[in-house]
Structure 1
Amino acid sequence: MSRSCRKGFTLVELLVVIAIIGVLVGLLLPAVQAAREAARRMSCSNNFKQIGLGFHNYESAFGQLPMQLGGTWQYGIVNATGRNSGGTGRISAQGNNRFRLSWLIGILPFVEQQALWEQISNPFADGNPNDPWPAMGPAPWTTGYDPWMTDVPTFRCPSDPGFGSPTMGRTNYTVCLGDATHRNDTGLIRFDNNRWHDGIAAEVRESCRGMFVGRQVMRFRDVLDGLANTMMGGEIATDLGDRDTRTAPRTERDWGQMHGGILPCRDDPDPLRPQFWRSTTSNIRSGNQTRGGRWADGAPLYTSFNAILPPNNYSCMGGSDSGIGQLPPSSRHQGGAHVLMGDGAVKFITDSIEGGNPHTPTVRRGSGYTAPGSMSPYGLFGALSTRGAKETIETEF
């Protein structure tokens, strides 16, 4: 009598197969993660290209670039909600936007965000038609205003995991202010003692050498070095609340040092983790007062960069969140960050780009500073940030 034979895997064979699958997964996982990051980096670059097209379409439509530190200014009595209720009274940060709006607002209709633009450009009821927010919105730090809290997908890099509170609407894309700090915070007009003053045009011409100048109309024709040789925008990482030196600037008390381009917080990063501040380092920006933490705010901290330090270096500021400082581009990509050239091309600038001597004082009139009209003291990276310094770019970057 024949006995039937049962076929199947033994326990040992199953364990061997599972072990082999585990090894294969372990070997393939880094490759999968690298492929995913490559896809995210490509998407990030495509967002920047779309923004570049938006700049060119905006310039074609209006004959100028969208203004950095633009907006409106209103005098009025403000009610309990912080909204302007008319009349002539004290100046309110909530009842007007204090000429603090970023370039990102003007470009909204050109990056397929017409609905958001219409909310901002018209009085926005926000659930109360009898008490609307003013046209062009309130101050960009107003958390009760829905548009300022909105994350616009085109303004975000998929490689950046930062999301939500305590920041407001975030952005990973900024514009280039050049290779200096002086007057980057005010642009062409400064506010003092409840009055606007415009007697600083000479200082602005000398120090603000980037494609964008705050509170000043800029055009492509102003870029004398050529659009292909001049950076228009740069990528930044947003803050994760981890004391990252790139995203949470240290605020320096010595305003004069920052104006001179001196780098007083060089020794403050953690020696064991140079990309993070020491646990004992004080005056670190946090919450929505971090890099990219308010996409609607035109202050340099939020939506601008300068080329004093190469990509992914630490950030430092003098004074408040609306002040000046060393604010380099940064990213969550390995080894560098994207920049947008004036002709719309997107390039990846490595951390090792030639950056000159970062301890050299920046361009500003007066003794002890780099003289106005000089070549950028910050090497190739600085040269790419100036719009009319007549610096020849001889190498591919």
Structure 2
Amino acid sequence: MKPKQTGFTLVELLVVIAIIGVLIALLLPAVQQAREAARRLTCRSQLKNFGLALHNYHDVHGVLPPGLTASANGGWSWGSMLLPFIEQSSIHDAINFKLSPSNGSNATAILNTIPIANCPSDQAPKTNDELSLPEQATTSYCASGGANMYTPNKCSGIEEGVFYHNSKRAFRDFTDGSSNSIVVGEVVWRVTPYMSGNAARNLQHYYGGQVTVPWYHNGDPCGVGSDDNTYRRTFAIIRNAGYPMNVYHAAADTYYDNAHHAFGSHHPGGAHFLFGDASVHFLSEHIDSKTDRTWWPNITDGQDDPSRFTGVYQALHVINDGNVVAIP
């Protein structure tokens, strides 16, 4: 009698392969979600470290660092001032702050990447690709200049945000409460390149670029400014809530792309924000946001009426308008 053969039939083998394929298809999203959860946790922790550094800086100097220095050899970012407070004293000591970031003597120092400055979900390279700025380390975090599109603004002598050119904010200025005021937020690296080879590219860089005078010293009451390089170098460091979170214009081909003014991230659904009390919150990109241009102060109306900042998102970026809102 012929012995009975054992093994899988072709049909059984195909069924097993199909089952394995289904299991892999079910497993991969879970793995990706776990990885993104870990990246979000790291990003949150990094922003927390910046929050503690800002508080330590305030303890030493009595004020927060300037958003961006503007002087004959200015252009240094708030992050540059925090270097000794984030265990980067060696980089701080290698920088000649009497000269601008664009000065060749600082070219080597500003190539140093800052370990806590890049979100693991961000797709930024280690150094920038913006032609109007010196080559330097990138960052995933920018300071908040308030709700006004024109950052930094001094319309009617009022500044509603934490950071602007040569700012010297203290925590006593947070009349809306430090726990209700955004000081730093995530910014997103533009993955899709511009069509034009010589167009401005991404604007999120750590150290800054030469800015000789504040915009509002150019006779513009709202600080819009007419110097394109100053414009770009400022938005590399300071953003605002004049545009909603995660705004993106795929067809844009200039540095006026709205994404260069806005906060955002590669995290699904929103971005992390650091508040004045050093807490970090993940805000949904669907947060209530008023973006009607009629409430933006401009050089025509010369107004900076805090009552215009009615969106929850905008109110969180304003530290002194009396409109205290709960974090969603």
Distance of 1:29 and 1:63 partners within structure 2: 50
Q: Is the 8 A contact 2:47 2:280 kept in 1?
A: yes
Mapped pair 1:118 → 2:93: yes
CA 1:11–1:144 in structure 2 vs 1: closer, same or farther (change >3 Å)? farther
Please give the alpha-carbon distance, in whole angstroms, between the structure 2 residues aligned to 1:115 and 1:137. 18
Question: Cα distance 1:114–1:306, how it changes in 2: closer, same or farther (>3 A)?
Answer: same
Q: Which residue number corresponds to residue 200 of structure 2?
A: 285
Match of residue 262 from structure 1? none
In structure 1, runs of 5+ residues without a counterpart are 74-97, 121-133, 188-201, 244-278
- The one-letter amino acid paired with 2:311 is G
- 1:71 deviates by 7.5
- CA deviation string 1:67-108 (max 9, x = no partner): 2222774xxxxxxxxxxxxxxxxxxxxxxxx21010011111
Deviation at 1:109, TM superposition (A): 1.8
Which residue of 165, 175, 178 maps to 2:146? 178
Say whether 1:63 aligns with 2:31: no
Shift of 1:151: 2.3
CA contact (8 A) 1:179 1:376 kept: no
Q: Confirm whether residue 159 of structure 1 aligns to residue 121 of structure 2.
A: yes
- The equivalent of 2:278 in structure 1 is 344
Which is bigger in relative contact order (C-alpha 8 A, separation at least 6)? 2
The aligned residue for residue 331 of structure 1 is 265
Equivalent of 1:296 in 204, 207, 216 = 207
Paired position in structure 2 for 1:259: none
Could you tell me how far apart the structure 1 residues matched to 2:91 and 2:240 are? 29
1:241-261 alpha-carbon deviations (Å, 9 max, x no partner): 434xxxxxxxxxxxxxxxxxx
Distance apart, 1:285 and its partner CA: 2.2
1:56 Cα shift?
Answer: 0.7
Q: Secondary structure at the match of 1:30?
A: helix
Q: Give distance in 1, aligned partners of 2:137 and 2:185.
A: 18
Q: For residues 354-376 of structure 1, give each alpha carbon's deviation from its aligned partner in whole angstroms, at most 9, with x where no partner exists.
A: 12242224235x6535x334313
What SS class does the counterpart of residue 272 from structure 2 fall into? strand
The alpha carbon displacement at 1:114 in A equals 2.3
Q: Larger strand proportion, structure 1 or 2? A: 1
Residue by residue over 1:35-87, the C-alpha shift from the partner in whole angstroms, topping out at 9 and shown as x without a partner, is 111111111111111111111111112111112222774xxxxxxxxxxxxxx
Match of 1:233 among 172, 184, 194: 184
Paired positions, count: 295
Find the aligned partners of 2:109 and 2:144 in 1 and give their Cα distance: 24
Within 5 A, what are the aligned runs for 1:85-234? 98-120=73-95, 134-135=96-97, 138-140=100-102, 145-164=107-126, 167=129, 168-182=136-150, 184=152, 203=155, 205-206=157-158, 208-234=159-185
8 A contact 2:164–2:238 mirrored in 1: no
SS at match of 1:360: helix
Cα pair distance change 1:379/1:363, threshold 3 Å: same
- SS of alignment partner, residue 308 of structure 2: coil
Give the superposition deviation at 1:16: 3.5
Kept in 1, the 8 Å contact 2:173–2:319? The answer is yes
Q: Distance in 1 between matches of 2:304 and 2:46?
A: 35
Whether the 8 Å CA contact 1:100–1:139 is kept in 2: the answer is yes
**Counterpart pick for 2:301 among 368, 371, 392:** 368
Distance in 2, matches of 1:321 and 1:163, equals 19
Structure 2 length-normalised TM: 0.78
Q: Residues 142 and 148 of structure 1 are in contact (CA less than 8 Å); yes or no, is this contact kept in structure 2?
A: no
Q: Alpha-carbon deviations, 1:322-372, whole Å to 9, x = none?
A: 9x99712111011111111111111112222112242224235x6535x33
Q: Counterparts of 1:29-40 in structure 2 under 5 Å?
A: 29-40=28-39
Question: What SS class does the counterpart of residue 307 from structure 2 fall into?
Answer: coil
TM-score of the superposed pair, with normalisation by structure 1: 0.65
Q: Relative to structure 1, is the Cα distance of residues 180 and 72 closer, same or farther in structure 2, using a 3 angstrom cutoff?
A: closer
SS of the equivalent of 2:123 reads coil
TM-superposed CA distance for 1:237, in Å, is 0.6
Cα distance in 1 for partners of 2:308, 2:33 equals 36
| CA–CA separation in structure 1 for the residues paired with 2:13 and 2:89 | 58
Identity %: 31
Between Structure 1 and Structure 2, whose CA radius of gyration is higher?
Answer: 1
Residue 143 of structure 1: how far off its partner (Å) = 10
Contact 1:308 1:378 (C-alpha < 8 Å) held by counterparts: no
- CA shift digits 1:255-308 (9 cap, x unpaired): xxxxxxxxxxxxxxxxxxxxxxxx6x999522xxx221x211163321211111
Residues 155 and 297, structure 2, Cα contact 8 Å, conserved in 1 = no
Question: Take 2:296 and 2:10, find their aligned partners in 1: how far apart are those partners?
Answer: 71
SS of 1:175's partner is strand
Say if 1:372 and 1:13 are closer, same or farther in 2 by CA, change over 3 A. Answer: closer
Structure 2 Cα separation of the partners of residues 152 and 302 of structure 1: 16
Aligned to 2:283, what secondary structure does the other structure show? strand
